[in-house]
Structure 1
């Protein structure tokens, strides 16, 4: 009994000695970095599949669910636990049974791995688009190719993967990625608004892309795929604990949780507003022909300089975002394999090489976005927070099985599960269709 008390005191001391670096603005910027990613440029395409009625409604519902489940999660985790566990998986391991934890762990790291592949694909597409636009406007020879663009991005990530642990570099990365993500989002939004102003009309319809432009089957799959794309836009939950670690510790850890909660809610509200503006104005500008990416697609061909700035901003953002999302996976591998510098150099290089190779097999960023969103949203944004909340409240006799709140939470979780399954099926269907015409290792575009 004495040993147990001593251990508990030691844990309390360890918790008290932990002082997260950063401030509320850093946590907010970190969340913005995770939320306002390049996926925001795909929301016009997603809105085009769903239409004026369901497009904004789906985005709003995902926002409400994200905010709600976070409040449940924050309420269920004590201040000591939040301070003691610095990753999402460590909290899961302490709260859930072994089988659920192992399943969640596999899905969690697959999701992070998938994000790294998707970011590599999108970055290479932006690099390719930059070179293509220069060739188009100059009339010169077009030499850049997709494979080389992937290699360039991969080499950059191999370098940053080794030096990202530097605290100053991490803070600079968070700031730069937040600024660049906001920059290209605003450029995409501004160009869409300008196009609507010039044409003087809002394109699109209440039900989205029409039958005839696509087949009935394609309409169904695209609708499900669009839900996955929107789900991806709200997938920051998987690095939630790491984000909160950037907040300065105030007078108490409970106050830190409140501070983190405010940062999360404010950030989700802000990004939802940006999502709706980008998605709706992009759809208004292009209607059924809304590109998968407002900046790198064929929607705009001028102003040339502004578009190039947006493309460069996307690449810079994704360089930092790749590291932000990969760090939990890096820590996991480091704990399981080795913390020696040579070993870390080797396996981080191998990791980047594998994600680069896998990105060459992906037809487009949009194909991976829907699947990653479907794979990660339900388990990490809904199921696990709800399960942890119910488990903790049952211990305290604050919620009973089959009570109204218990039933409501189960309905919410099950509904989101069905939506995620449908989104995954739609994304896979779109991926399979694109594979019919895609040549993975084609060197010329």
Structure 2
């Protein structure tokens, strides 16, 4: 792809975005700075696992909607459910029957939880979990997993990142994943209301780790919170807690729950959740009160997603596709002798790739080179996170594009400098202090 010729409308659209929206996108991870210079397509529409930009270019898409569109765009069951509710009204002065049905469906799908409350995005529900844990324990500090990149846009988490301008000091501390001894040190420091983590990401937990962590957290009087934004449905229909058999006190879901529609969920033990309700004698917690939290079309989408996952074995399908992709990418990299530099990691349903330089260190320059080659080959993939909209042919086509990218990667490694293949400035990390 000649970016100068084939992305003219996208480049103009990006200029308009920056003049109207701080950062040029409503999510930092979708920002133009996350893509090679001049190669950040602006999307027109999508179908299944394919998207088209405003210039008319078609791409095979990975990581759709920041991992939220796991069934594929315009999925018929989801579309039918949403369309049906659009003709019945979307928001009322009192709860609708759909709220009962959606809650029952969620708790049947995630049977480790006793109660659920819906909201619109992940930050809503992770912050609600933090507030509830503080009220339940009478403590103020939050312990977040050091290796996990994101939990919330709210102050209690963003204060721990390099983008902490405008945020006062927060009582948030960090602990290392998989290290129970170091975690106990953090807990011994006192005043920890809850420990929040993703049960797994690119690294599987050691056998027994999550159960021992839960026991340790409880022994120190804190609550255990699983952030299931990514693991929910991709690990199993019941999330990581269902797969690993460890029940947290509270858990949060989103992303795949709505297949791109705005819905998230806070779930957990009844005795804790009830403190945010009307049937508890303790001091009340302002848990979640959102105008659009129970908006009907999104709840209908969530119900359709849950039904589809359970009835059609979507989680298994994601793993099949991911296994095929990972094997192909690794073979392509090995074929060009770059298997130690283009590395695929993670569970098959949630694959990421790492780009390493000649010294084996993570490199934004080599990531830029690699992304540029993918986009030029018609693959839009800041990750290799699959959706069920992909076909085996899509996977095979992706592997072919990766193989061509590895040819260029090998040339750059041999030259000792990838600059000539970057096409401009390198892509940048999301969390950084200055633009």
Query: TM-score of the superposition, structure 1-length normalised?
Result: 0.29
Q: Which has the higher strand share?
A: 2
Q: Which has the higher helix share?
A: 1
